[in-house]
Structure 1
């Protein structure tokens, strides 16, 4: 206890904690979007349970990984060497890695899964069959309840797979920012609490705005490509990704606002 008091009496520790909490929340956005889209494919009575189960699994997985930091850091050691040389960059350095660690392989597998899942969902949303929902859920365009597009167990398995990828990325980021385990634990719990609070409003917003579904799927597609690139040693600064996402979300917010104002004006002028 005295050690914790001494630790948190240092202003630098508080600065590191705040920075890490913000970073963990930002990294959790990817996971939350995926959980929201998957849960919206379930029957309405199962959606909240699926979101809370997915977020609880993310918390358990991240806290579990924190107890095995030494093993987790060891995942960055190369386990496969193709013995090839990447194409030289402008300064003679290779543009991609030919040595792969377990972390690289997990990121590549997770990225491929995200690309596959996002592409499949985009196809599902643009499919012109009238019996399917534009929301990717269990309702038809007329609002009549239809057959659920996904079982609860299948949704949880898919969420669990992506939780693993995002959890490893999140914890390795935390390890790189601080050496203090209590700070990591507080940051992870804070980020998951924010995810829990934001999950239902975000999923409901996505469900009520079909165009946002396509935008969110585009985000997941981009994140999947970034994960694959990261696995091959091509590191895209996360700031660029999140600025692009924020810009796209801002444009979509303007579109939604303009559409609602137009609908309101049409309703006021209607006889």
Structure 2
């Protein structure tokens, strides 16, 4: 208890907390996009409940992983060598998560294109995912990002309480933003392919990290922000053309 009081009045602890929360929120963008894309494959009445269950279980998973932080940090030690390159278990987790994201994003892009053709012919919206499958996939990906973020957090602070608070705040922000982002993607179908492209890039980044090639996240997020800006301009242009057509009809 005395340690917590000392941390509360320590400016360095507050600086570490703010930095760690910002890092967790930024790293959570990848997970949030994935959750939003998955949620749009569910029936509308199941989306909010599935998101809450998935993100809630993800929070429990992260808190449990923080309790095994000593074991997590050992995952960065070389475990085996292949083709004269040493791999750690963290590298294996990152590569597995990256391959999963590449496979999932590629499959969803193909499914989205073929589904659009079928919807045009039938006039019905197709749903191809169960709530249980969505929750399992959310937890699988969150496990990958959790291991990476915990290893990064250890290098920023040695106080476990700060890590717990940062994770809780970041997951709360994710829970708050999941609904609006899902609705935005649902109301703007052209965003789906862009979001899946982001996941494809993130998957390739995880694979590169697993092979020991560090890719600065700033470059990735800057490219994502620029692409989102361009798509936003296209959306405004399409809306303006639509409004002009309505005025001409009237």
TM-score (norm 2): 0.95
Deviation string 1:2-45 (CA, Å, 9 cap, x unpaired) is 22121121212111111111110010010011111111111111
Corresponding residue for 2:135?
156
The answer as to 2:182 corresponding to 1:203 is yes
Matched residue of 1:234: which SS? Answer: coil
Q: Mean alpha-carbon deviation: is it higher for 179-188 or for 215-224?
A: 179-188
- 1:107 pairs, out of 79, 83, 94, with 94
In 1: Cα distance, 2:166 partner to 2:46 partner: 29
Task: State the Cα distance separating 1:127 from its structure 2 match.
Answer: 2.0
Structure holding more helix per residue: 2
In 1: Cα distance, 2:214 partner to 2:117 partner: 42
Q: Structure 1: 5+ residue runs without aligned partners?
A: 85-97, 134-139
Corresponding residue for 1:43?
43
Deviation string 1:104-131 (CA, Å, 9 cap, x unpaired) is 0010011000000000111112227633
In 1: Cα distance, 2:119 partner to 2:110 partner: 12
Corresponding residue for 1:170?
149
Corresponding residue for 2:56?
56
Task: State the Cα distance separating 1:270 from its structure 2 match.
Answer: 1.4
In 2: Cα distance, 1:141 partner to 1:211 partner: 20
Task: State the Cα distance separating 1:160 from its structure 2 match.
Answer: 1.6
Corresponding residue for 1:81?
81
Matched residue of 1:130: which SS? Answer: helix
Deviation string 1:192-222 (CA, Å, 9 cap, x unpaired) is 0000000000001011111110110000000
Which structure is richer in relative contact order (CA contacts within 8 A, separation 6 or more)?
A: 2
Aligned partners of 2:102 and 2:204 also within 8 Å: yes
Matched residue of 1:3: which SS? Answer: helix
Superposed CA RMSD = 1.6
In 1: Cα distance, 2:161 partner to 2:197 partner: 36
Deviation string 1:41-69 (CA, Å, 9 cap, x unpaired) is 11111111111111112111111111111
In 2: Cα distance, 1:141 partner to 1:213 partner: 21
The answer as to 2:129 corresponding to 1:116 is no
Task: State the Cα distance separating 1:178 from its structure 2 match.
Answer: 0.8
Q: Structure 2: 5+ residue runs without aligned partners?
A: none
In 2: Cα distance, 1:128 partner to 1:48 partner: 23
The answer as to 2:225 corresponding to 1:246 is yes
The answer as to 2:49 corresponding to 1:20 is no
Deviation string 1:142-190 (CA, Å, 9 cap, x unpaired) is 3x454x3012222222112111111111211211211111111111111
Question: For residues 45 and 246 of structure 1, do their structure 2 counterparts lie closer, same or farther at Cα, with a shift above 3 Å needed?
Answer: same
- 1:230 pairs, out of 196, 209, 213, with 209
Question: For residues 128 and 22 of structure 1, do their structure 2 counterparts lie closer, same or farther at Cα, with a shift above 3 Å needed?
Answer: closer
The answer as to 2:78 corresponding to 1:68 is no
Matched residue of 2:41: which SS? Answer: coil
Aligned length: 250
Q: Mean alpha-carbon deviation: is it higher for 47-56 or for 119-128?
A: 119-128
Aligned partners of 2:99 and 2:207 also within 8 Å: yes
